[in-house]
Amino acid sequence: MKQIGVFCSSSNNLETDFYRCADQLGRWMGERDKTLVYGGANCGLMESLAKAVHETGGHVIGVVPQILIDHQRVSSFIDEQIVTENLTDRKQQIIALSDAIVALPGSVGTLDEAFTLMAANTIGIEDKPVIFWNINGFWDPLFVLFNSIVARGAGTRPFDEYCYNVKSFDELVGLLA
């Protein structure tokens, strides 16, 4: 996989391990000449990741909604910038440009982005893995919900066919290699 999309938090108030892991993933990507496709913000895990990719020689594509430009919130570690009108356009561009998606800790935006690809996978529009890096159990409640959906018969396709719950860096890069 050459182009890896990452959805993650833009918050600067997260656990230290989350930033360390974003940096670790970014360095791995840069050292292996991978391309990061992400939302382009200059804060939170987004900035940690882009900086690490950029500093280790990888390519960074920032898919940036106009509002980030208007508020001067665009990362300086972007090699190629694609401007979108809104968050929906950004999400669609990131998915289209990526071979796989990694979800680092995040909030509603991260879930919206990951769920959009999961829904597209479910009905056959896309066939790209969605990999939740479950750092310090961050995504545990989500996977409880997924298991409940399956147990109650509401899922039309098993989540584990396209959605992965990885708990270690080695597991993550094993899926991305």
Domain that holds residue 55: 3-176
Can you tell me the distance from the alpha carbon of 97 to that of 126, in angstroms, rounded to the nearest whole number?
Answer: 12
Q: For residues 157 and 150, what is the distance between their CA atoms, to the nearest angstrom?
A: 9
| CATH number of the domain within which 31 lies | 3.40.50.450
pLDDT of 155 higher than 90: no
Give the separation between CA 89 and CA 55, rounded to whole angstroms. 28
Reported as a pLDDT band with limits 50, 70 and 90, residue 108 is: very high
| Three-state DSSP class for residue 120 | helix
Query: Using one digit for the tens of pLDDT, what is the confidence trace for 9-55?
Result: 999 999 999 999 999 999 999 999 999 999 999 999 999 999 999 99
The number of distinct structural domains making up the chain is: 1
Region 58-71 average pLDDT: 97
Neighbours of 43 (CB within 10 A): 14
